[in-house]
């Protein structure tokens, strides 16, 4: 939301969302904490807090006993404000694990269900299975429509999250699939579609090992493909055409055909080598990975590089260390960079939590 030429109502909404995000990020705050930390008057804070309490977004909790003892008997003790996590709910589906979840505003998974899809599942069949799963969760956990923020879909491939379209997914075998048309009857316009690697990266930024970094590069390495995602100060980078991060289509000096119609793409070469080597990553593949990832590091200059996916988990500690060392050796002026590496171990969980943050950010935009 731009702060240029804001109407009074827009400014009030912006301030509410700023305060809500601050409470969410801090966990528990006093009214004094809010007006001291933010450029909002005491009177405005009082009004915003009252409105959010009335809508159920926040709640008050007693101060810790340690503070009560410190203030002494007979002296008033502050009450703290915190996010009312159960006030809003969302459904999130993650394709990699075929998991459908009911998630609250604090990104906690309240319940989950494993879904089963037929081979070569087409979009209509996919939607039917997901909606049936939502129906099963609703029987166990009735949800007030006023409290429902929407449906999030964490999916593989090229995703245009502006139009909620799967542009191309090799894994799914889909092209130009409008996901809104599949779920609009049940969820209206509250349908959120993002690619898997983006949501893992956002999950790590909000809740995981990348919380202290502003610039994140995540590389998702799967047998089916390789993708890169960049998060800058909490925003997933998409590119002008929403085709950002296609690391798997970096060209290598090998004459291997790719599903994109070209030859020598990294992910096609990876699949070819894995097929020849019994799904084992050989030294040549480690070298190709290091070339591609170091190129991404040189382009984006992240503070942390997160390596994720089944191929990373299957490498073993020795080969993971070797890959990281080769990446460092290929990065320009690597000795001058403040560069951290991390291995993601909870991709499904972080992808779901990342989507919950994505939906939260949409509904409470600043």
Same topology for domains 8-83 and 212-343, yes or no? no
The answer to whether 202 and 208 are in contact (CB under 8 A) is no
pLDDT at 150: 98
Q: How far is CA 50 from CA 35, 47, 157, 308, in A?
A: 14, 5, 43, 43
CA distance 320 to 316: 6
Query: pLDDT tens track of the chain, all 366 residues?
Result: 555 566 878 888 999 999 999 999 999 999 999 989 988 889 999 999 999 999 999 999 987 766 655 555 555 556 899 999 999 999 999 999 999 999 999 999 999 999 999 999 999 999 999 999 999 999 999 999 999 999 999 999 999 999 999 999 988 999 999 999 999 999 999 999 999 999 999 999 999 999 999 999 999 998 878 889 999 999 999 999 998 988 999 999 899 999 888 999 999 999 998 999 888 888 999 999 999 999 999 999 999 999 999 999 889 899 999 999 999 999 998 888 999 999 998 899 999 999 999 999 999 998
Read off the pTM.
0.92
Non-local (6+) Cβ contacts of 15 within 8 A are 40, 44, 48
Nearest to 195 by CA among 216, 215, 225, 223: 225
Task: Domain 212-343: give its CATH code.
Answer: 3.30.420.40
pLDDT at 92: 98
pLDDT at 68: 54
List residues bridging with 109 in a β-sheet. Answer: 103
CA dihedral over 107, 109, 110, 116, signed as positive or negative: positive
CA distance 174 to 172: 5
**Domain residue extents for the chain:** 8-83, 87-198+349-363, 212-343
Q: How do residues 298-316 score in pLDDT, each as one tens digit? A: 999 999 999 999 999 889 8
Total Cβ atoms within 10 A of residue 231: 27
Non-local (6+) Cβ contacts of 155 within 8 A are 95, 166, 169, 172, 193, 194, 195, 196
Nearest to 117 by CA among 166, 167, 171, 157: 171
DSSP string, 240-260: TTS-TT-GGG-B-SS--B-TT
pLDDT at 347: 92
CA distance 143 to 151: 13
CA distance 157 to 123: 14
Residue 193 structure tokens: 């579609």
Non-local (6+) Cβ contacts of 8 within 8 A are none
Residue 307, φ and ψ in degrees, nearest 5: -100, 130
Direct distance between the N- and C-terminal alpha carbons of the chain, in angstroms, rounded to an integer: 5
DSSP designation for 29: B
CA distance 7 to 40: 17
CB-neighbour burial class of residue 23 (10 A; exposed 0-12, middle 13-18, buried 19+): buried
Residue burial 298-321, b: 16+ Cβ < 10 Å; e: rest? eebebebbbbbbebbeebeeebbe
Q: What share of the chain is helix, strand, coil (3-state, %, to 5)?
A: 45, 25, 35
The answer to whether 237 and 228 are in contact (CB under 8 A) is no
Task: Domain 87-198+349-363: give its CATH code.
Answer: 3.30.420.40
Residue length of the chain: 366
The answer to whether 83 and 105 are in contact (CB under 8 A) is yes
DSSP designation for 341: E
CB-neighbour burial class of residue 107 (10 A; exposed 0-12, middle 13-18, buried 19+): buried
The answer to whether 27 and 82 are in contact (CB under 8 A) is yes
* CATH level 3 topology of 8-83: Arc Repressor Mutant, subunit A (1.10.10)
pLDDT at 72: 55
């Amino acid at each position: 939301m731009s702060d240029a030429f804001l109407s009074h109502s827009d400014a009030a909404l912006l301030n509410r969302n700023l305060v809500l995000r601050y409470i969410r990020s801090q966990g528990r705050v006093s009214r004094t904490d809010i007006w001291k930390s933010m450029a909002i008057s005491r009177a405005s804070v009082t009004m915003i807090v009252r409105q959010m309490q009335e809508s159920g977004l926040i709640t008050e909790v007693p101060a810790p006993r340690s503070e009560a003892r410190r203030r002494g008997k007979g002296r008033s003790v502050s009450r703290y404000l915190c996010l009312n996590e159960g006030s809003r709910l969302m459904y999130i589906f993650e394709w990699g694990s075929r998991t459908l979840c009911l998630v609250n505003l604090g990104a906690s998974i309240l319940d989950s269900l494993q879904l089963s899809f037929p081979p070569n599942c087409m979009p209509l069949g996919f939607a039917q299975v997901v909606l049936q799963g939502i129906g099963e969760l609703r029987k166990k956990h009735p949800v007030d429509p006023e409290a429902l923020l929407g449906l999030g879909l964490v999916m593989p491939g090229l995703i245009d999250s502006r139009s909620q379209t799967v542009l191309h997914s090799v894994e799914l075998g889909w092209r130009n699939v409008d996901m809104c048309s599949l779920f609009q009857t049940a969820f209206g316009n509250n349908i959120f579609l993002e690619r898997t690697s983006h949501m893992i990266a956002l999950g790590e930024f909000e809740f995981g090992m990348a919380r202290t970094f502003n610039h994140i590069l995540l590389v998702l390495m799967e047998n089916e493909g390789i993708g890169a995602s960049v998060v800058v100060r909490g925003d997933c980078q998409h590119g002008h055409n929403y085709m950002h991060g296609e690391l798997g289509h970096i060209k290598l000096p090998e004459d291997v055909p790719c599903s994109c119609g070209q030859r020598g793409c990294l992910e096609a070469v990876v699949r070819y080598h894995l097929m020849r080597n019994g799904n084992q990553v050989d030294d040549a593949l480690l070298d190709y990975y290091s070339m591609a990832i170091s190129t991404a590091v040189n382009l984006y200059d992240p503070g942390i590089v997160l390596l994720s996916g089944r191929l990373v988990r299957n490498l073993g500690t020795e080969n993971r260390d070797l890959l990281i060392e080769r990446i460092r050796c290929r990065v320009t002026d690597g000795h001058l960079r403040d560069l951290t590496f991390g291995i993601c171990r909870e991709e499904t969980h972080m992808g779901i939590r990342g989507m919950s943050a994505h939906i939260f950010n949409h509904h409470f935009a600043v």
